[in-house]
Every structure is written in C-alpha cells, then in structure tokens.
Structure 1
C-alpha cells in the first residue's frame, strides 16, 4: 500500500513538497486592489489604493459650493419631478451602452406608480434602484457611507479588516440611502456620473457638420 502511494502520479513527490516549504507564504493581511493587482508591501504597483470621496455631498442639491454647473440644476429638477428619467439616465451613462435607458426606466416607473398607489409613497422603487449606487461606488472606488462613518467617529479603527464584511455593510448602507433619501441619492449619483463619464450617445462618435455651399456671384463684364 505504501509502495503504491509513493508511485501514484496524483500525489506530489517528497522533493517537491520540501521545495514548497521553502517558498515564503503570502501574508494573511494582503488583499487586492480595484484593478485586480495584489497588495504588496513596498511595491509601488501593488500599493493599496486609497478610496476617493464623492464629488458632491448627498444633500448638495445644486452641486458643490465652489462650482456651479448647469447640469446640476438639470439633475436636481429631474430628481424632483421625474426620478424615473434620472435613474434611467444614470444607468445608461454608467453602462456606456445606448438602449439601456428604457430597460431600467420602465420597471422603475412601474414600481414608482405601484408604491404610490398602494402605500402612498415611493417605497418599492428603491429596492430596484439601489444596486446602481453600489456599482458606482465600486467602479470609481468611492468611500461608502459605513466606511465614512467609522472613519469620522473613530470606531473599528476607521477601517474594516474583512473586505467581505465591509462590502456587506456598504451594500446595506446603499439600500438605506436610497430608501430614506431616495431623490437625493439619485441626484448625487447623477452629478457624479456626469462629471466622470461622457454620455454614451456621444462616446467615441464624431459629429459631421454640413456647411451650405458658398454663393457664387458672376463677375460683371466691364
């Protein structure tokens, strides 16, 4: 039985196992960056990427205090009057694929009308729209509400060691933000996307401008 185990090709040889023991193991605290790069100590390429902040606060309806953009006013009006259109526009700009506006705007509108008809307020649409906030946060490596709160109050050392636990907490905060501050969340996401991503309808397309022909005047004979 022992001779059969030693000659089995499925089992590693003893010499290879000894070599593997000499290989230094990766530290348990190492992780991965947003771009899929390993987090290494002293390595510039694999250095941890610090999370950036949102371009404007949640309740900044007209954008940042030091800068006013005309698109911020448009986002504020859409979020107040027609949140379904703002949500569809955000998802279309986030996916950078034309045609996704109707696929997200119509289901949102149905849930919006159903929630207002049955319960008197928009309580169903946030269940459908909050994943877009999670996608924006992951795409641009933005700081979540839970992480920002822990950093400001100083609890949990300012960060969470377990990435899976932190992500679950941030997803719950994304849902709570959409559920209790739904219109403000849509407006904040709209401002963020408009400053970071071009509209998919104009992404990589050249505009051809047709000029009318110049009028030609016949020279009069002297």
Structure 2
C-alpha cells in the first residue's frame, strides 16, 4: 500500500511531464501559427502587367510616345520611308483603303479589310453628298485609334497636353477618368484632323505589325510533283 501511494504521488506531481494523451487546458494551448498570405496573382491587360491585391500605381508602366507626330505627313527618314510615302498618298487620295488596311493589321481576320473599307466608303459618300464634307466617317473610325493606343500602351493626346502644359495633374491620377478624356480626345482628333490621324495610325501599325498577307514572315515552299517518266527502247 505504501508503494502504491508513492507512485500515485509521483504521477500527480506537477513537476513531472504530462502523460501522453492527457488533455491540455484551453488557456495553456500554444497559439496557432497565422496562415501564409496568398501570393499575388499577376495578370496582363493590354500588354501591361497588373498585380491583384496591390495598387496599380506601384506597378504603373510609363506610356510610350507615338513613333511619329500627327503632322509628320512624310513620316521619318528611316527604313519605313517608302511605306510612309505610300501612307501619305493613300490618306490623301483613298482614305477608305488606308482605313481598311489599318483595321486589317490591327484585327487580322477574314473580310476585315472589305467590311471596313466598304463601310467607310458608304459613310464618306453619304457625308459628302448630304453635308458637303466627310463628317460621318470619323464617327466610325475613331475607335481604331483608341484600340491602337490601348494595345501598345501609347500616350494619348490629353496626357501629352498635360505633360507639356503642366496642368490638370489631378485628372491623370484617376485612370478611369483619364481614359474617358483620352477617348474624347481620340474622337476630336479624328473629327478635326481626320486624314492626319489615319496616316499617323497607319505609320504606327506598319512599324509594329507585318501585313497579314506576308504570313508573318514565314516562307512557304511549294513542292511540285515529279513529272511522269516513261522508258523507251534504245536504238
């Protein structure tokens, strides 16, 4: 009995480690480790990386300038000089063809040139016959300028104006508001200076996108079948 009492005292001593499987009081449980924070997910919108969960301003990429000015009718003296002259000629004589070519390069697909060119031609003729000048086609063509600016992260007219004048800086901080103003400036550019806007867009696209008819620069080899051969008896 004495030995059993000693064992009972030893097992109940608070200085001994707790037995395996013994319940731990709630106030003595170790705190749970915090869950690891989820990793930021990276997405891309219009060629610009966007990180979810982080402010966009922290990863803002400065917008590029257009490769040529809107009044650079003859383009630049570089390897695209002949193409710039062609663009200037088409913009002056056949803007419907130039607009169809721009849409074909921007959104390569079936019948993009024909649909854009014929629609532009109809609006051009309707505006010229009813109002005496091309006032309807710019309403149809100005979204192309917005698409080019967004795809290649180009500087808009409003941003260029604020950068040069140093005013309206607060409007540039709100991306949604700035984009609305840029779209309005795209429309004003097409409406007030339509041929020059078409030519500037064409020069930009020709420096960035090859013509779809060139098959993206890949060579195509055509294998000719061998000619039928006959065996004749020698003399």
**TM-score relative to the length of structure 1:** 0.74
Equivalent runs, 1:199-210 vs 2, <5 Å: 199-204=211-216, 205-208=218-221
Return 162-171 or 67-76, whichever deviates more.
67-76
How far has the Cα of 1:37 moved from its partner?
A: 1.7
The alignment status of 1:60 with 2:72, answered yes or no, reads yes
Asked whether the 8 Å contact 2:105–2:211 carries over to 1, the reply is: yes
Unaligned runs of 5+ in 2: 1-33, 227-235
Measured against aligned partners, the alpha-carbon deviations of 1:170-216 in whole angstroms (never above 9, x if no partner) come to 000000000010000000000000000011122344333689x9xxx
How far has the Cα of 1:36 moved from its partner?
A: 4.4
Task: Give distance in 1, aligned partners of 2:96 and 2:117.
Answer: 5
Asked whether the 8 Å contact 1:151–1:158 carries over to 2, the reply is: no
The alignment status of 1:72 with 2:84, answered yes or no, reads yes
Alignment: residue pair count: 183
Asked whether the 8 Å contact 1:56–1:191 carries over to 2, the reply is: yes
The alignment status of 1:192 with 2:183, answered yes or no, reads no
The alignment status of 1:140 with 2:152, answered yes or no, reads yes
The alignment status of 1:129 with 2:141, answered yes or no, reads yes
Task: Give distance in 2, aligned partners of 1:158 and 1:196.
Answer: 32
The alignment status of 1:116 with 2:128, answered yes or no, reads yes
Task: Give distance in 2, aligned partners of 1:33 and 1:103.
Answer: 28
The alignment status of 1:87 with 2:99, answered yes or no, reads yes
**TM-score relative to the length of structure 2:** 0.70
Measured against aligned partners, the alpha-carbon deviations of 1:47-66 in whole angstroms (never above 9, x if no partner) come to 32110000000010110256
Asked whether the 8 Å contact 1:150–1:158 carries over to 2, the reply is: no
Measured against aligned partners, the alpha-carbon deviations of 1:46-102 in whole angstroms (never above 9, x if no partner) come to 732110000000010110256661000000000000000000000000012242001
How far has the Cα of 1:38 moved from its partner?
A: 2.0
The alignment status of 1:172 with 2:184, answered yes or no, reads yes
Asked whether the 8 Å contact 2:139–2:191 carries over to 1, the reply is: yes
What is the SS of the residue equivalent to 2:172? coil
Asked whether the 8 Å contact 1:58–1:185 carries over to 2, the reply is: yes
How far has the Cα of 1:162 moved from its partner?
A: 1.0
Q: Which residue of 1 aligns with 2:5?
A: none
Paired residue for 1:105, among 117, 123, 126?
A: 117
Measured against aligned partners, the alpha-carbon deviations of 1:149-184 in whole angstroms (never above 9, x if no partner) come to 011000023861111110110000000000010000
